[in-house]
Amino acid sequence: MLEPLNIIPLLLIGLICYSVYHAIQIRNKFRTAIYDISLYSSDVPKYHLVIEMKHGQYVDTRKLSVIDFLFIPNNIIPLLKSTYSNYDSAHNSLQELKKKYICFQN
């Protein structure tokens, strides 16, 4: 029979297992996501990378939360936070991102 004091360690183990499972799901969401290049222009065209979080809804990778960046390797973060002045440099960064980080090429 389980006493109340024996339940607390089981709850902690369950919480830790759930946290690890949730962290792996978030990491896999970023690894299998579709990344693309977006253009914004005031006077001079600027390019940045975007991620498709839901079908047809792209999010600027420069505006991801700090918690999201915890699940992304440190060598990839500068690519996601950068703004590019021409399309070629943005395309090269996107190819580097796909080569280093993404599991499935889309």
pLDDT in tens, 19-55: 999 988 888 888 888 889 998 877 888 999 999 888 8
**3-class SS at 39?**
strand
**What is the C-alpha separation between 34 and 50, in angstroms, rounded?**
8
Q: What is the dihedral of CA 14, 15, 21, 25, to 10 degrees?
A: 150
DSSP per-residue letters across 79-106: HHH--BSSHHHHHHHHHHHHHHT-SS--
Statement: the pTM of the whole predicted model exceeds 0.85: no
